[in-house]
Amino acid sequence: MIQKEPGQITINHCDIPPWVIASDEFNTSPVALSIAGVRESNAYLFKRLEQIEDPMERGQIFHDYVDVKFALHQWENYQGKARSSLRNSYIRFLRGWGVDSNGIEGAVLKSWVQSRFGIMPTYHRGVLRPLEGEEDHRFAVDRMRGSAKTNCIFSQLDLMYEFCQYELRRRWPERQVLTLYRGTCDPEEHPVFETRAKRESCVRLNNLVSFTSDREKAWEFGSTVWQTQIAATKVVFFSQLLPSQLLKGEDEYLVVGGNYWVRELLY
């Protein structure tokens, strides 16, 4: 049964309540998600994409569109904070996540998920406890430091998410649910809500989580590997989205978190 959790944020920028998006049921019975107003205000981009057959060419068109829309290519014409703000695009934050999901870039990405999907982060340099604890202060500081360093980063990420969803639907329209894998060194730190088999449990994951589509590569990231079903509508970014090397080494998927049924694999 889908239930609202005590103290959970009840607003977001989608037309689906956050406790529904975060529920384990959403992963097996997904519905379309959209961030309010993004597709409508960027109709020209998506109309142009419809005319392009090559997905890598579509990826380059998307990147060029973001570059122009947010004047990122003009960074050399500015000085000081304005210069770094334009230079640090959504690409910088994806790269930063790949290096350390608990760094400044990770805090901004988790904060974006909290704002747009209404799902609170549960971990950043430590377990987060609302309104108390040193970890919460570090998360707030990292979030503010990161957000101040770029131009309209949340709007850039909004557009990236909508483009990601467009590409998933266009490339694999039949794939509403994906089977992905996650390696972890600390499975015991994840809250367990229910267990229905010896190696199968419903766990709470952070509000933004990395997975891989390659089962073998998942073992490189932890002594425990989970297999789970992911609603395609919760995918924020995947390594084949753009004509670049972003997160390609691990065949990575960035996914909105919440409750997931996971099955622990045997090596």
- Domain annotation covers residue 233: yes
Residue 7: inside a domain: no
What local confidence, expressed as pLDDT, does residue 152 receive?
A: 85
Question: Has residue 1 been placed in a domain?
Answer: no
For residues 41 and 127, membership in a common domain is answered with yes
What are the Cα distances from residue 233, in Å, to 27, 57, 155, 261? Answer: 9, 23, 18, 17
Instruction: Tell how far CA 24 is from the center of its chain.
Output: 17
Domain boundary residue among 106, 139, 171? 171
3 closest CA partner among 178, 190, 193? 193
Write the pLDDT tens digit of every residue in 177-186.
999 999 998 8
Helix runs in the chain, H state only = 18-21, 25-28, 38-41, 43-49, 55-69, 80-87, 90-99, 104-117, 134-147, 153-171, 215-218
Cα dihedral sign for 209, 210, 214, 216?
negative
What is the domain extent for residue 165? 18-171
State how many domains the chain has. Answer: 2
Establish if 12 belongs to a structural domain.
no
Listed in sequence order, the residues at least 6 apart from 16 whose beta carbon sits closer than 8 Å to its beta carbon are 31, 33
Assign 138 to helix, strand or coil. Answer: helix
Same-domain check for residues 117 and 208: no
Q: Do residues 95 and 125 both lie within one domain?
A: yes
Query: Does the residue 167 lie in any domain?
Result: yes
Q: What is the pTM of this model?
A: 0.89
In a domain, 132, yes or no: yes
Q: What pLDDT was estimated at residue 197?
A: 81
Residue-wise pLDDT for 133-170, tens only, equals 555 777 788 888 776 666 689 999 999 999 999 999 99
Residue ranges for the chain with pLDDT beneath 50: 1-3, 6-9, 75-86
Q: Is residue 181 part of a domain?
A: yes
Q: Are residues 28 and 112 in the same domain?
A: yes
133 phi/psi in degrees, rounded to 5 = 95, 145
Could you tell me if 110 and 9 are in contact, meaning their C-beta atoms sit under 8 angstroms apart?
no
Is residue 126 located within the same domain as residue 230?
no
